[in-house]
Structure 1
Amino acid sequence: MELDLVPRLGAVIGLAVVLLVLGLLLRWTYGHQKHHALPTDDPDDPVATGLLTEVSRVPGQEAARVLRDRLRSEGIRATTSRADGGGWALLVFPRDVKDARVVLSRRSLD
């Protein structure tokens, strides 16, 4: 009976050693990044919209959806977001700002 216990004990100890080494390796690989803070504020982007630029601000969500749909119908990718100062912001990529403003001004005169 005691002979069966030795191989089982060796397997358990071997597994524990492997898990310990793996844990230490993972901690060494990923654990040291705690001191590296990710940038959260971009001084050039006061509203924190990332790659997007605000082209219009409206008081209601439905109005923002209508404007977003108008831009999308013209082939301009756009999205809406809750604005910091209240209302809803219409956001587009920087390369589409001029086109978006033309579309919005043309549509508002119709």
Structure 2
Amino acid sequence: MSDERLTMIVGAVLMLGIMLLALRWTFGTGRDLPAPHLPDPDDPTGDGLLTEVARVPTEAAAQVLRSRLADAGIRATIGRAGPSHRLLVFPADEAGARVVVAQNRW
């Protein structure tokens, strides 16, 4: 009777070990996988290929400047920086964009 009981205990421990390995493999933390890249909000080069040409306090002002740039054939996007809005363009268009933004149209 003790041999049967010992076999049952060893079988249960073995089955528990197999279950733990299967669960670890299925729901493991994946520490061997690389962590996703999180951009640093304080990094001035965090805009990728884009360069800031203007910073305005409201979204409406940013939309007006963006439409002026679009009229000049310059692609632009609007980004947020805290309470202000930033106008971003590609480096090749930076000089032209600064000229268009600096023009006063009333």
Fold match by TM threshold 0.5: yes
Deviations 1:55-95 (A, max 9, x none): 000000000000000000000000111113x2100010111
Q: TM-score w.r.t. structure 1 length? A: 0.58
Q: Which runs of 5+ in 2 are unaligned?
A: 1-29
Q: How many residues align?
A: 78
C-alpha RMSD of the superposition: 2.8
CA distance in 1, matches of 2:81, 2:66: 15
Inter-partner Cα distance in structure 2 for 1:54 and 1:80 = 9
Following superposition, the deviation at residue 46 of structure 1 comes to: 2.1
Q: Structure 1 stretches of 5 or more lacking a match? A: 1-31
What's 2:92 paired with? 95
Q: Distance in 1 between matches of 2:50 and 2:69?
A: 14
User: Counterparts of 1:3-82 in structure 2 under 5 Å?
Assistant: 34-41=32-39, 45-46=43-44, 48-82=46-80
Counterparts of 2:34 and 2:60, CA distance in 1:
41
Give 1:40 shift: 2.9
Percent of residue pairs identical? 49
- 2: CA distance, partners of 1:92 / 1:79: 7
Q: Render the CA deviation track for 1:23-57: whole Å, top value 9, x for unaligned.
A: xxxxxxxxx89522343347xx5262222111000
Q: Secondary structure at the match of 1:35?
A: coil
Q: Which residue of 1 aligns with 2:81?
A: 83
Which of the pair is proportionally richer in helix?
1
